[in-house]
Structure 1
Amino acid sequence: MIPRQFRFILALAIGAGLLSACREEQQAAPPVPPSVLVQPAAPADATGLSIYAGEVRARHEADLGFRVGGKIVARLADVGAQVQAGQALARLDATDLQLNVAAVRAQASAAESDLALARADVERYTALAAQKFVSQAVLDAKTTAAKAAAARLDQARAQLSVSGNQAGYSTLTSDRAGVVTAVLAEAGQVVAAGQPVMRVARPEEKEILLYVPEGRLAELRAARALMVNFPAQPGLKLRAALRELAPAADPATRTYAARIRLLESDPVLQLGMTAQVALASAPAGTGIKVPLAAVIERGQGPEVWVVVQGKAQRRPVKVDAFLEDGAILASGVAAGESVVAVGAHKLVAGQAVRPLPLQNLGK
């Protein structure tokens, strides 16, 4: 019979042997390479397309404001209202303007009286001078006074005309037939001269307004064709062309405003509709298309990573264009190569990886 202390020692030895065997087995197991999502590089489509979101706008639109400042007492048109040339859109409180007209009219009346008196003096002193009762100098003074009175009357009449015009400016009218697209001030608001109150557009000629990031300006300028479609009108596609590109970026968004002229029109188009502008930018039959996320930058220029015989390889590339659904490469990758679509920035050259097709993700 084995003494109790020997049985305890034997159990410890057996346990230590088992742990050592397990450790050796774990150390001997080869490491599992990380999985990466790959997608075969493919020849670019016959035409590469870039899609930009924009808005239908009128080519001719203007912000209208009062030519004098004051308090708005009435707004006479709403957004969407069709207006005619000369139609009243809003009115200011014209009390002060009308009082000014009355004051200037009184000044003009006084100037007329002064001129009549001065002319009468000239006639009287002319007769006296002919009889040698007054000197020529006195007559000259009266003549000069009459000329000054006539000038003051002209000045008063001009001021009366200006005051009358300003009183008329208390009513804001449309200078063209169109549609009100925005109301920028309300009744009760005090506005300065020239401050926009309403926006009126001429809807017969429409265009697309969109904003382009600075990295896409060359692509927009070089686009061979523009096609516009409208989510609210499925199936409607219109040809278009670049009309105007802002020379400076918006300071807040750092994007450039571009106006796209529609070469065709359709009566179903409404101002403010969302538009999608497609740019045909890639030459037919050139380049290799890869996922956008496959192109990375780590200080040595653009690059992609491919999997060759289970190992990751870095490939410097030249990018022709960035599209909405991928990038077009001019060199660096051949059609059919397995391109790492996600997570390439974590790889090192020669690293063993296990490629998984991107389309199988989630299955």
Structure 2
Amino acid sequence: MKHGNVIFSGVGALLLAAAGTAWWQWPVHVDTALPTRGPAIEAVYATGTVEPTVLMPVSPRTGGRLVSIEADEGQQVKRAQVLARVESTDLDQTIEEMRAREQLARAQFERTRSLIEQRFVAPAEFDRVRSEWQAAQAATRRAQAQRDYNQLVAPADGVVIRRDGEAGQFVPSGQAVFTLACCAPLRVSAEVDEEDIARVSVGQAVTMRSDALPRQLFEGTVAEITPKGDPVSRSYRVRIRLAGAPPVDAGPMRSGMTMDANLIVSRRDGALLVPNGSIKGDSVWLVVEGRLHRRQIVRGTVGADRTEILSGLSDGDAVVLAPPDKLRDGQRARTDAPSPGLAPGTPVAGR
């Protein structure tokens, strides 16, 4: 019995050893891809809004009820054209009162001048009534100017891009009823995080996309950077000049559209690129003559799909895609023909 147990123990050990050897030598199936060459673009990401270069709000100086609306959104207007009228009943009555006083003062002035010529009154009386007449004239002009403020007029030629008021509505002093755009095409105003603003400079190239116009790619350059940032949002405003910017009312780009902007910091053409999922830490797995080998790499720009490799790889290396954690160096590997990876020429944008 003891002899039989020894035989069975030896057979079990041999089976375990054989199973371990088979497990060790059994090839693991992996998918591979070859690195590609393409541009590696390092960029600062920002979100912006399309806006007119010149924006002119029009608001009443004094609060009042809108009596009439003379212009509407999208309408071209001329300088000094009346856009709306604010109720001015009290001022109309004040002007009538001032004109009556002015007429009385003028009549007194004419009578006094006649008496002066006849030497019936002293010259000082003439000076007094003349001053009263001039004061009445000034009061009338002041009342007329105040009534004119109740007419909202266009400060320059332009197009009405927004109207915030209806006839009969009360409008407080200083609240914009119309917003006009004129004199210049559209631009993009973007907010750049304070951590990235040091890498942004005037004249820097910008590429932009909008969800409203998904099939179009817009180009531009940085035109202005505000010197003071917003301490709440911790960002700086950057104004971008659009290449071939359309007029305000040309379309399809419209004021108020949001833009995803990439402010180009650097661009390297012909960079070596691999899919992001093939990288584990600072290394990748390669299949060389049917065996797995771990390779240390130095990464460059990291994009949404691919990563630039500065050193550690060459064009013909078969890189394992999505390598599992259980891979071992020297392990046999079984793979199909390496995939060419992503389409060559797809840019990598770092944020």
- 1:298 corresponds to: none
Give the total of aligned pairs: 286
CA distance in 1, matches of 2:132, 2:300: 75
SS of the equivalent of 1:248 reads: coil
Deviations 1:139-179, CA, capped at 9 Å, x for gaps: 6xx31221122122222212212221222222212233333
Question: Residue 152 of structure 1: which of 125, 132, 135 is its match?
Answer: 132
Aligned pairs for 1:1-363 (under 5 A) are 46-50=39-43, 51-124=45-118, 127=119, 142-202=122-182, 205-221=185-201, 224-250=204-230, 252-266=232-246, 267-272=250-255, 273-284=257-268, 305-306=281-282
Note the residue ranges of structure 2 that are not aligned, 5 or more in a row: 1-32, 286-296, 329-351
- 2:7 corresponds to: none
SS of the equivalent of 2:74 reads: coil
Deviations 1:61-98, CA, capped at 9 Å, x for gaps: 11111233322233343433443434332221110111
| Closer, same or farther: CA 121–248 of 1 in aligned 2, 3 Å | same
| Closer, same or farther: CA 152–205 of 1 in aligned 2, 3 Å | same
CA distance in 2, matches of 1:95, 1:165: 14
| Closer, same or farther: CA 276–307 of 1 in aligned 2, 3 Å | closer
Counterpart amino acid of 1:166?
Q
CA distance in 1, matches of 2:282, 2:207: 35
Would the aligned equivalents of 2:91 and 2:143 in 1 still touch at CA under 8 Å? yes
| Closer, same or farther: CA 256–265 of 1 in aligned 2, 3 Å | same
More helix by share: 1
What is the TM-score with the length of structure 2 in the denominator? 0.62
Would the aligned equivalents of 2:208 and 2:217 in 1 still touch at CA under 8 Å? yes
1:45 CA displacement: 5.9
CA distance in 1, matches of 2:231, 2:313: 41
CA RMSD of aligned residues (A): 4.8
CA distance in 1, matches of 2:83, 2:281: 63
| Closer, same or farther: CA 49–308 of 1 in aligned 2, 3 Å | closer
Would the aligned equivalents of 1:61 and 1:202 in 2 still touch at CA under 8 Å? yes
CA distance in 2, matches of 1:100, 1:230: 54
Counterpart amino acid of 2:125?
A
Would the aligned equivalents of 1:86 and 1:173 in 2 still touch at CA under 8 Å? yes
Note the residue ranges of structure 1 that are not aligned, 5 or more in a row: 1-39, 129-138, 293-303, 310-314, 342-352, 357-363
Larger Rg: 1
| Closer, same or farther: CA 246–224 of 1 in aligned 2, 3 Å | closer
Counterpart amino acid of 1:55?
T
- Could you tell me the percent identity over the aligned residues? 24
